Chains A and B, each alone.
Chain A
Amino acid sequence: MVSRTTDDYEAMVYAGCAAVCEPAFWAGFDRSGVEGFRDYFCQLTDYEPKRAAKFGLPHFCWLCINPKESEDTVLAEEVIAIIPEFLDRPTVLGIGEIGLNKNTRNELRILERHIDLAARNGQLVLVHTPHLEDKFKGTRLILDALKADGRIAPGRVIIDHCEEHTIGMVLDAGYWAGITLYPESKTTPARAVDMYEVYGLQNIWLNSACDWGRSDPLSIPKTALEMRRRGHSEATIDQLVYQNPVRFMSQSPRFTLGA
């Protein structure tokens, strides 16, 4: 949300969104040093919750160096070293979105370092899976890395951006499967509902992207509308778009929607 205007927060509230959780993300350009990340983490944990609060929207976040910047392992190690300074802040849910981008050895090494950081600090984990032709291979490598470490219970990890060729392996391994809705890439509302109809409600979390590219902060309400068009009950819609993410995030003591 850091690259969006307040109009988006207002629209989300009007559409019934109850909270927003924002992963640490690539800025669209590589940051020049660790202090750029320190500023970014301050923005995610301090300024952005205040900005969202003006519209009555609770704001939570995840911290990491995104895999798009983890090819530079020296910088990545420096960033990982400062993350513990922020983990006790009241709106931090865990480590994310970590993962892989082009499935390189360096990215894999930094993924393992993030998994270690999360395990040592008892954090929830949000994992980004690669784009397009790299997603299938990357998802398999990520599952292997999590299994090899073995310290984090699968139920405390969400593997995000699942599509039809990866969601089965993620759910079979016991992890939460995130389905990300995008206007151009990843998944449309219709395909997201297809995946729910095939794989069921358990441990599936829908999310929208609100970044600096073409993305739609209202894609979750639009998916709820898609479910209504197909005749799904309000209780089912509520479980998929609201109760499931609340159930996952409530594993963090910092997650609360207030009274």
Chain B
Amino acid sequence: MNRQQVLDLYFMDARSKLIDIAAFLDRVERAEGEADFRLDALRKALELVGSGEGDKARRVLLSLSDPTTDPIAKAFGKGACGAWPGPPKE
């Protein structure tokens, strides 16, 4: 597909998802109380989306990933939350 065809096929879908993200951020900002590391992680990832560089999906995924290399001693729960909170607090 050329760029025009890609736009024809996917622009409306991307537009919809972009507005969903904008509305989500509005919703978070309207709410009271403290945010946590996930909001900062999302904002940093959005900077990558807005950059002029390629390979955006890979770089966004990496920005949300645990960059460490050693296995951890113990898991506290089975789930994942979608963003790395940083190293455990001492």
Tell me whether B62 and A165 are in contact (CB under 8 A): yes
User: Is B88's CB within 8 Å of the partner chain A?
Assistant: no
> For chain B, what secondary structure do more than half of its interface residues adopt (helix, strand, loop), or is it mixed?
loop
Docked complex Cα distance between A191 and B79 (Å)? 23
Docked complex Cα distance between A135 and B64 (Å)? 10
Docked complex Cα distance between A101 and B80 (Å)? 9
Task: Tell me how many residues of A have a C-beta within 8 Å of chain B.
Answer: 29
- Measured between beta carbons, the chain B residues less than 8 angstroms from A134 are 65-66, 80
Q: How many contacting A-B pairs (Cβ < 8 A)?
A: 76
If A131-B80, A133-B80, A133-B82 touch, whether A141 touches B61 (CB-CB below 8 Å) is no
Task: Tell me how many residues of B have a C-beta within 8 Å of chain A.
Answer: 26
C-beta contact mask, A22-61 vs B, less than 8 Å → 1, else 0? 0000000000000000000000000000000000000000
Q: Pick the contact of B1 from A104, A191, A230 — CB < 8 Å? A: A230
C-beta contact mask, B59-83 vs A, less than 8 Å → 1, else 0? 0011011111101111101111111
- Measured between beta carbons, the chain B residues less than 8 angstroms from A238 are none
Docked complex Cα distance between A9 and B69 (Å)? 41
Q: Pick the contact of A165 from B58, B69, B72, B81 — CB < 8 Å? A: B58
Closest 3 CB pairs of A and B: A102-B75, A136-B65, A132-B80
Q: 15 additional contacts, CB 8 Å, given A104-B73, A134-B80, A165-B61?
A: A71-B75, A101-B75, A101-B78, A102-B80, A103-B72, A104-B71, A104-B72, A132-B64, A135-B65, A136-B66, A137-B66, A164-B57, A164-B58, A165-B57, A229-B9
Which positions in B face A, CB cutoff 8 Å?
1, 9-10, 57-58, 61-62, 64-69, 71-75, 77-84
